[in-house]
Amino acid sequence: MNKAILTFMIISLFLLISCTNNTKNSDDEIEVGITIYRYDDSFISFMRRNIETMLNGKAKFIMNDSENDQVKQNDQIDAAIQRNVNALAINLVDPASASFMINKIKPAGIPVIFFNKEPSKEDMLSYDKAWYVGTLSEESGNMQGEIVVKAWNSNPAWDKNGDGKIQYVLLKGEAGHPDAEARTERIKAVLTNNGIEIEQLDEQTANWDILQAQTAADAWIEKYGNNIEFIFSNNDAMALGALKSIQKQGYNIGDNNKFIPIVGVDAIPEIIEEIKKGTVVGTVLQSPKDQAKAIVDMLLNAAKGQDVLAGTEYKLDEVKGVRVPYRAITLENINEASEAYK
């Protein structure tokens, strides 16, 4: 082959390759990968739909259901790395697997936004292209505690055995999940700090799940009946499960002598309806819409190789996390909860 033609061909090939690489960074060619720990989690399903709506038309994306299986999620991340996506957003199955994930993602240099299940500080700081979007877990437990303090103090009849203490049962989310751990600890601490004595009848892990909570509450009603003076639930889905269970036994359906106050977290629409009916005392709003917005804004910025906060007003904390604030919700301010879940 003629030397000039060969040189021409090599140069053309170079141009072609560099062109394809460049266009990956233009808006319409951006591709991002999102994994969700499980689609059938009530709160997360709102987050997922918001993320989808907000990404539509802004980037190509593949969203995966990890079906609560860390091995499956690892494979999904491997596949996204293979596709050479521009950025990843990961709702971990197991928060403790962040370091394992980072070890896969870091060599590929792909930016990653973790959300909802917070990795440890050490893991967050081990990769400069890792960020987090979520809440401050303790805040939800503190607010839940304050709701209970106020409600308990204004309803003396709720102390059914008149001993001045709250005999309670607690529904815990997934063990090891920062939200579950902090909510479980803080609600008790706030009550104690406010001079309210508490006595735990039982605590059960129901993994954020309505059915598991219903099963736990069935057993509690059988064992303790009306001696239960409060049900503390780490989230609303489990609070709903508990409500269904006790309603089957005639509680919280209008008979004042058969009432067990319940408190949750999230402010999902079903719980808002129950608060209006008076069957649930209160909840703590965490906004799926605001969190999805932060995830999408940061994901797109990262995918385009821009400053992750470009064009936003978010602030990063010491672990490169953006925190969306919680809000305590009771009947008094119930309307404040409606926007976040639309």
> Could you list the residues that contact ligand BGC (CB under 6 A)?
41, 43-44, 116-117, 177, 179, 208, 235, 237, 265-266
Taking the complex as a whole, the smallest distance from the CB of residue 173 to ligand BGC amounts, in Å, to: 6
- Based on CB atoms, which residue is closest to ligand BGC, 222 or 336? 336
Structure tokens at 1: 């082959």
Taking the complex as a whole, the smallest distance from the CB of residue 191 to Ca ion amounts, in Å, to: 13
| Contact partner, 163, from ligand BGC, Ca ion, none, Cβ < 5-8 Å per class | Ca ion
- Based on CB atoms, which residue is closest to ligand BGC, 30 or 98? 98
Q: How far apart are the first and last CA of the chain?
A: 66
Taking the complex as a whole, the smallest distance from the CB of residue 274 to Ca ion amounts, in Å, to: 23
| Contact partner, 280, from ligand BGC, Ca ion, none, Cβ < 5-8 Å per class | none
- Based on CB atoms, which residue is closest to Ca ion, 19 or 157? 157
- Based on CB atoms, which residue is closest to ligand BGC, 177 or 293? 177
| Contact partner, 271, from Ca ion, ligand BGC, none, Cβ < 5-8 Å per class | none
Q: What is the Cα–Cα distance from 134 to 196, expressed in whole angstroms? A: 30
Determine phi and psi for 28, rounding to 5 degrees: -75, -15
- Based on CB atoms, which residue is closest to ligand BGC, 179 or 229? 179
Q: What is the Cα–Cα distance from 290 to 341, expressed in whole angstroms? A: 10
**Residue of 267, 316, 319 whose CA lies nearest to 289:** 267
Q: What is the Cα–Cα distance from 159 to 315, expressed in whole angstroms? A: 44
* Residue type present at position 220: W
| Contact partner, 161, from ligand BGC, Ca ion, none, Cβ < 5-8 Å per class | Ca ion
Taking the complex as a whole, the smallest distance from the CB of residue 166 to ligand BGC amounts, in Å, to: 22
Helical (H) or strand (E) element with 172: strand 165-172
Residue 94's alpha-carbon distances to 17, 114, 161, 203, 261, in angstroms, are 39, 12, 41, 22, 32
Taking the complex as a whole, the smallest distance from the CB of residue 55 to ligand BGC amounts, in Å, to: 20
- Based on CB atoms, which residue is closest to ligand BGC, 47 or 55? 47
Does residue 263 contact residue 282 with C-beta atoms inside 8 Å? yes
| Contact partner, 123, from Ca ion, ligand BGC, none, Cβ < 5-8 Å per class | none
| Contact partner, 116, from ligand BGC, Ca ion, none, Cβ < 5-8 Å per class | ligand BGC
Taking the complex as a whole, the smallest distance from the CB of residue 199 to Ca ion amounts, in Å, to: 7
Q: What is the Cα–Cα distance from 21 to 229, expressed in whole angstroms? A: 63
| Contact partner, 41, from ligand BGC, Ca ion, none, Cβ < 5-8 Å per class | ligand BGC
Q: What is the Cα–Cα distance from 39 to 30, expressed in whole angstroms? A: 24
The footprint of Ca ion (CB under 5 A) covers 159, 161, 163, 165, 167
- Based on CB atoms, which residue is closest to ligand BGC, 30 or 124? 124
Taking the complex as a whole, the smallest distance from the CB of residue 266 to ligand BGC amounts, in Å, to: 5
- Based on CB atoms, which residue is closest to ligand BGC, 42 or 245? 42
Sheet with 230-233, edge to edge strand ranges: 197-205, 165-172, 230-233, 262-263
Which letter, b or e, does each residue of 14-51 get, where b requires 16 or more Cβ atoms within 10 Å of its Cβ? eeeeeeeeeeeeeeeebbbbbbbbbeebbbbebbbebb
Taking the complex as a whole, the smallest distance from the CB of residue 235 to ligand BGC amounts, in Å, to: 3
Does residue 111 contact residue 302 with C-beta atoms inside 8 Å? yes
